[in-house]
Chains A and B, each alone.
Chain A
Amino acid sequence: MEPISTINVLSPWEPGILALGVFTLMSLILIIALLFLANWIGEKKPNPEKLRPYECGIIPTGTARFRYPVAFYLIAAFFLIFDVEAAYIFSWAIAFERLGWPGWLQISFFIVILLISLFYIWKKGGLEWGSTTHKNPPIRETSSLPSSTL
């Protein structure tokens, strides 16, 4: 008995535009369903008081939209830079054997450069919290008082 050849009966599995279309459609349906449900179920009774920003029960003063010095911004920027470094190192680690010694040398060079820049930032005070211009004020008075004034 001849084995039935299946090679030409079914078309080969070729991931293409169809799958992407199905995925997009499903995502859209899900999002619309969620939005609709939230909108339909959530009871809306807006009034000016409710729409006001919450600030511990007090009516807020001034605007929140102005240039706001965020110490966190600097730290976040550093984090991003060093995070990208991790992406390179992981991809190198996956192809570790194939890249061999030349690859190792290249990534070592990359890491050393980054380490030097890290120490540079550290030394410059970039990792200190808050802006470097003002620090905690010193103690206003000496903490001991001569007993004669008592």
Chain B
Amino acid sequence: MAAVFTPRFDLARFGAEVLRGSPRQADVIIVAGTVFKKIAPIIVRLYEQMAEPKWVISMGSCCNCGGMYDVYSVVQGLNQLIPVDVYVTGCPPRPEALEHGLTILQQKILSEERPSRSVLHLGGGTQGTTHPILIDGKTKSRDTRGPGMEGIPIRGTSVTSPRFWDSRSDLIWAPPPRQVELHERDKSLAHVLEEKFGDSIQKTHETSDMLTFHVAENRVKGVLKFLKTEASPKYLRLDDLTAIDESARRDQKPLPYYDGTVANEVGQNGKSVCPDKGVYPDYTLVYHLLSFDPPGRLRLKVGLTGQDPTTQTVTDIWPSANWYERETYEMFGIRFEGHPDLRRLIMPHDWEGYPLQKSHPGRATEMAPYTRASALKHQPLDAGAFVKQREGDQELLVLNIGPQHVGTHGLMRFIVSLDGERISDISLDIGYHHRGVEKIGEHQSWHQFIPYTDRVDYMGGVANNLSYLQSVEILAGIKVPERAQYVRVMLSEIFRINNHLVWFGTNAHDVGAMTPTFYTFREREQLMDVVELITGGRLHPAWFRIGGLAMDLPDGWKEAVDRFVKTLRERIRDYEALITKNPIFKARTQGVGVLSLKDAMEWGVTGPNLRACGLEWDLRKKIPYSSYENFEFDIPIATGCDCYARYLVRVEEIRQSLRIIEQAANQMPGGRYVTDDYRYTVPEKKDTLKDIESLIHHFINTTRGPKVPKGEAYTATEISRGEQGYYVVSDGLNMAYRMRIRTPGFANVQVMPLMARGGLISDLLAIIGSIDYILPDIDR
């Protein structure tokens, strides 16, 4: 979408150039991306607010029909809400496709609609389409197999929740999950904890990734406090907090036979005192903690029983727990006592049910159709509900910035209370881009889920695949060949540059500098050519596979990569000449959006935003993965803690990424591109033509999908915006039991009110640009 306005594609040639900030001045609305139930009322309103004539282009498969997101939060097609003139296919469509769509619309207007006739009162001619909207289930098919299948009964059992019977994965044998030997430091910590908390804490016997404890519900707060303030090392960051609905576990054996999760024994006064070995829990709360020095992680699991379980909030230990607890509450129905503001965060405020419970429908096609009437009924919450105005305050202007706003970089809503131009308070309303990826992960096979990861941080491309695959590979103990590891590093860094180039243009644009966008997008197109040469795709290649890559590097990749590195290295100087010492840019960013290091660490801020506070913390160095330990590069940091510091860090990161790409390209090892253990991966095609074992694995792993041993694993990688972690829980089937994504944006954005409060409204846009968030990464 953005690329069509930039030099290579140059939409202006086709008579459409100017983006309008409001529907009043527009005559075509391009709905690009997924249409969510939370944003649907807003799309209808924008369409209504357009002046005649009005046309609609539906851009992308998700917008056309729901695409690959047949999930509870997504409307299955824009044409259910407003009439559509032109559909542009693709996921995402190439820039040429959008241009083609625009020319088709122009032809349609010329030949069919002829709006000038109705303008001049000549009779005939229409201003926009007159086709009626479609109704899901009546005038359009709700059959997931496509139209025309109504007479044919659905075969087999559904994989959807709460239970999938007779899975043929049970017939496959799988080796036990990977087990790690704990570090001496972890062992001594476990010893200390068991001494201090006695029976209420219990170390798991085996773990695939990190030290793990079961903790009794009433002691978990004490344990967390101890781990943060007294333990050695101190676990200063709450990396992630989530839950698992245990109701659909197939093998609910309590301890000691089943080494998964345990509930708490109910004591005399009704309070649990220690993990019970006889009861299987209904829910498990999972806390992932991180220590900075030495780098390490730890997991706490808390079993909860009952249909409406309650536990204590930890927002007084970590302020960042605020959103995590709200999310857990609205997804699972787990209540947190003492939470300051426990209400829905991501789903619409009037949503019924808890989506990640196993009993909640996963697919939109299993639910009642979403119609235009639903869109008119379910309006977003009034801004007044977000504003805490006290008695006797002076009158403040309450203003919504977003969800439809060019400055918010996506569907995000800021509710600001303005005293003149000064922001006296600010609240965030997210969830307008909630795609239910975690739910999708529970019914897509381990392989099928890879393309969904690409779209979590849609500027991060294959770097997202890496985060996911790494967790699966750790759980199953898969060894990735060195060549594949190097290619993964090279492509991840290419996509980091992709992200930073787009960020550079938009950040400069946010504070008034228009030119850099045209410069950076020029190089980005060159980068996209490299990506396309290697993977065949542009934004979402989904090119990594369990155990390696989809295919080997093509001929000529080295020259293309070298050429790109050489060009960009020169061009960065141009960018910096435009911006780095620019007095206007400095005036707009220096001292603006200040976030102290202590706040950043307390709130779980990661990535360049954390490094701009002066902390040298980068997972690629501190907890290396995928051979990053073999590369020489620096961690750029800045100490300004402001928008300018964040700018400096990212610009330097482009240079460091170029160094890594150069090293990876020069030292590219030979050998296999995918592991030769074909149990979990799609075998090389040539092998399937030679031996029956490979052929069988090829068939099984591309159809039913591999079976991953029962267990769990969490790892995180350093993607362009920060630390992205995948917590995969397997119940020994061909799909995940629970797929949790810890995204950097969620934590980075939660802290924004701290930066923006008290500043000018123009500073807010500078802060938005410098934080560099992306919506599907926040809302998932």
Main secondary structure of the interface of A (DSSP, over half): loop
Q: Which residues in window 514-562 of B have CB below 8 A to A?
A: none
B42 interface neighbour in A47, A57, A61, Cβ under 8 Å: A57
Tell me if B421 and A57 are in contact (CB < 8 A).
no
**How far, in whole Å, are A18 and B574 apart by their CA atoms in the complex?**
64
A82 to B767, CA, bound (A): 35
CB distance from A85 to the nearest CB of B (A): 28
CA A142 – CA B613 in complex, angstroms? 11
CB–CB B420/A130 < 8 A: yes
Stretch in A7-15, A63-71, A98-106, A112-120 touching the partner = A63-71
Residue of B nearest to A41 (CB): B119
Chain B 46-69, CB-CB to A under 8 Å as 1, else 0, gives: 101101100000000000000000
Whether A145 and B598, one on each chain, are in contact in the complex, defined by CB atoms closer than 8 angstroms, is yes
Number of A residues whose C-beta is below 8 Å from B? 40
A87 at the interface (CB under 8 A from B): no
Which residues of chain B have C-beta atoms less than 8 A from A60's C-beta?
383, 400
B24 within 8 A of A: yes
Min CB–CB distance B315 → chain A (angstroms): 18
Which residues of chain B from 367 to 412 have a CB within 8 Å of any chain A CB?
379-380, 382-384, 387, 395, 397-405
Q: Are A41 and B120 within 8 A (Cβ)?
A: yes
With A134-B422, A150-B292 given, is the CB distance from A61 to B401 under 8 Å?
Answer: no
A136 at the interface (CB under 8 A from B): yes
A73 shortest CB reach to chain B, Å: 10
Least CB distance from B692 to A in Å reads: 56
**Contact, CB under 8 Å: B49 / A52:** yes
Stretch at the interface among B192-200, B219-227, B439-447, B589-597: B589-597
Give the interface size bracket for B toward A.
35 or more
Q: What distance in Å separates the Cβ of A103 from its nearest Cβ neighbour in chain B? A: 40
Query: A140 CA to B382 CA in the complex, in Å?
Result: 31
- Tell me if B581 is interfacial: C-beta within 8 Å of chain A: no
Contacts of B22 in A (CB 8 A): 54
Among candidates B24, B383, B760, residue contacting A58 with C-beta atoms closer than 8 Å: B383
Cβ of A139 within 8 Å of any chain B Cβ, yes or no, is yes
Proximity bits, A43-82, B CB within 8 Å = 1, else 0: 1010101101011111111101011111100000000000
- B43 → chain A closest CB, angstroms: 8
Partner of A136, one of B119, B401, B420, B758: B758
Q: Of residues A49, A55, A58, A60, which shows the largest number of chain B Cβ atoms within 10 Å of its Cβ?
A: A58
> Provided the pairs A41-B119, A67-B395, A145-B598 are in contact, do residues A54 and B758 lie with their beta carbons within 8 angstroms?
no
Contact B614 A62 (CB under 8 A): no
- For the complex, is A5 an interface residue (Cβ under 8 Å from B)? no
B49 near A50: Cβ-Cβ < 8 Å:
yes
Q: With A55-B400, A69-B420 in contact, is A43–B118 under 8 Å at CB? A: yes
Q: With A68-B420, A136-B759, A143-B641 as given contacts, are A61 and B382 in contact (CB-CB < 8 Å)?
A: yes
Known: A56-B401, A56-B413, A143-B641. A45 touches B614 (CB 8 A): no
Is there contact, CB below 8 Å, between A143 and B597? yes
What CA separation (Å) do A147 and B591 show in the bound complex? 25
Identify the interface centre among A52, A55, A147: most chain B CB within 10 Å of its CB. A55
Given contacts A54-B23, A57-B45, contact A143 B596 (CB under 8 A): yes
User: For the complex, is B138 an interface residue (Cβ under 8 Å from A)?
Assistant: no
Interface string of A111-135 (1 = CB under 8 A from B): 0000000000000000001110010
Chain A residues near B141: list those with CB within 8 A: none
What's the nearest-Cβ distance from chain B to residue A69, in Å? Answer: 4
B601 on the interface (CB 8 Å rule)? yes
In chain A, residues 16-55, which have Cβ atoms closer than 8 Å to a Cβ of chain B? Answer: 40-41, 43, 45, 47, 49-50, 52, 54-55
Q: Which residues of A contact B379 (CB under 8 A)?
A: 59
Query: Judging by beta carbons under 8 Å apart, are B597 and A149 in contact?
Result: no
Residues B590-617 near A (CB distance < 8 A)? 591, 594, 596-599, 601, 613-615
Q: Give chain B residues whose Cβ lies under 8 Å from the Cβ of A149.
A: 234, 236
- Nearest residue (CB) in A for B645 is A143
CB of B413 within 8 A of CB of A145, answer no
Q: Is B403's CB under 8 angstroms from A68's CB?
A: no
Q: Which listed residue (A43, A61, A144, A147) contacts B52, Cβ 8 A?
A: A43
Asked whether A56 and B403 contact (CB < 8 A) given A141-B596, A142-B596, the answer is yes
Q: How far is the CA of A41 from the CA of B119 in the complex (A)?
A: 5
Q: Mark B200-228, 1 if CB is under 8 A from A, else 0.
A: 00000000000000000000000000000
| Most central of A56, A139, A147, A149 by chain B CB within 10 Å | A56
Contacts beyond the supplied A45-B52, A50-B48, A143-B596: 11 A-B pairs with Cβ under 8 Å: A43-B119, A50-B51, A56-B404, A57-B43, A58-B380, A61-B383, A62-B397, A136-B591, A141-B596, A142-B596, A149-B236
* 10 residue pairs from A and B, CB less than 8 Å apart: A50-B48, A54-B22, A57-B42, A58-B380, A58-B413, A61-B398, A131-B420, A137-B757, A139-B641, A143-B639
* 9 cross-chain pairs, A with B, having the tightest CB-CB distances, nearest first: A57-B42, A141-B596, A49-B48, A69-B420, A61-B383, A57-B404, A58-B400, A150-B293, A141-B598
